[in-house]
Chain A
Amino acid sequence: MERWGVSKLAIVLHGLAGAAILVALYMALVFAPTEATMGHVQRIFYWHVATAWVGFFAFFITLVASIAYLRTGRRRWDIVALSSVEIGLAFAVIMTVTGSLWAKPVWNTWWTWEPRLTTVAIMLLIYATYLLLRRVIEDPGRRARFAAVYGIAGFVSVPITFMAIRWWRTIHPVIFKSEGFDLTPAMLAALIVSVLAYSLLYISLLLLRTQLEFLSDEVAELRESLDE
């Protein structure tokens, strides 16, 4: 347990993540220039893209941890996979809601069934089901194995979601292109800082969430040994 306790490194990391978020907030709201056609609403963009990026990344980490769990059978990988799904879902929900709030003034609708939004909805559904699946299996070993298999099979939706705006003609703009970005340097700087800040926040949350699960394991173990 001590290994997972609050180390100095963890405290530095949490502090760094908090500071980065504040800097990113400043960059997005003050530093970045106001976009000519959309106005201030465009400032949603920085955090919308940052949460999207980190959400996709979190699901990728789940895929990696799921494979590692099936390979090694180590509980810690199962914990990482579960934690990453929870955080990824939180970020993906933020991405969806901010996207919707941005779509209303710009596209004049909260939601439209175009490829990107549709695939995002499917992705959210898959990872919500992942959490549900864990709840209906009692045996811990089986729960971890089945969840890992679902974490791997479910990941197929992530690249499709990512590529949806590239493969099909859609209303949703593409930011990351091979030819470069359609952004002014200041906007790009704000975007990069936001993505970095959210990545740090992800790592910090992942650390906290995994620690929580380890603690929960420890409590369960202790309870079992006492009940004997």
Chain B
Amino acid sequence: MSIIGECVLAFVFGSAVGILVQRSRFCNTAALRDAILFKSFRNTKALLVAMMILTMGFTVFITLGDGNPMSFDVGLNQVIGLFIFGIGMVLAGACTVSTWVKTGEGDIGALWALLFTFIGMFLFSLIWSYNYWPPAPSSMTGNPNLAALQFGHINAKTLQERFGIPAVVFGIVQTLILAFIYRAILKKESVEKVNV
């Protein structure tokens, strides 16, 4: 696909997401924060259903040799980075999606969060240019590099290639685990309804 084709497709996809998120009031921050603080699972259930559909969809296409899975080494930087991000999104009251969506609704606070996200990214680029961690994608090998706290590159595609097990098998296992969590939430909600 041409660069312009990719950009147009990305914009059309983003527009559809923007409308759907705006109309549904879905929020990834709320999916985690509300479950922790208020035991409210409206957004958590939506997140789980989406993950189930995506897991099956992605792994079926990976099994058929299609799709474009992300490919880079992972390590402790994912845990630390998303830990910092998790605190930040609760404090800001918005995640990467809701900052854009709320900005589109005229929320200046969300625009302010977006601006500071850009500033945070630029500050990180200054730090990275000094310590070069985590490793740049060009220096990643796909194998563990414990000195750099990297575990290599593992996903449904590499598992399929390494063990000869179709990616969709891993997808089915993950979908069942997600369905089990979803069912547990529904049970919890029905018990609470009865108690009310």
Whether A associates with B in a native complex is no
